[in-house]
């Protein structure tokens, strides 16, 4: 298993989401302004552990993207 700490907030009257996520094992942390970036961070960490959850994603240009968009 992998553990993440996530803080998400939405400003009053805004349609945007932002926050930060930290991978507990490596202590790596990023800020994000979209849920897609948050999920990409999580998937990248899960791929390192060869999780079946990572199936359907590939690395492209330094980022993990869905294979079937």
pLDDT band at 64 (very low <50, low <70, confident <90, very high): low
Phi/psi of residue 25, each to 5°?
Answer: -60, -45
Contact (Cβ atoms closer than 8 angstroms) between residue 10 and residue 4: no
Look at 68 and 57; give whichever has higher pLDDT: 57
Residue 8: closest CA among 23, 24, 21: 21
- Residue 69, pLDDT score: 46
Confidence of residue 45 (pLDDT cuts 50, 70, 90): confident
Tell me what pLDDT residue 63 has: 61
């Amino acid at each position: 298993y992998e553990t993440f700490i996530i803080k998400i907030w939405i400003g009053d009257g805004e349609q945007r989401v932002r926050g930060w996520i930290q991978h507990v094992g490596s202590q790596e942390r990023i800020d994000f302004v979209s849920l897609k970036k948050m999920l990409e961070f999580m998937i990248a960490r899960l791929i390192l552990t060869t999780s079946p959850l990572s199936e359907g994603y590939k690395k492209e240009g330094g980022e993990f993207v869905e294979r079937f968009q």
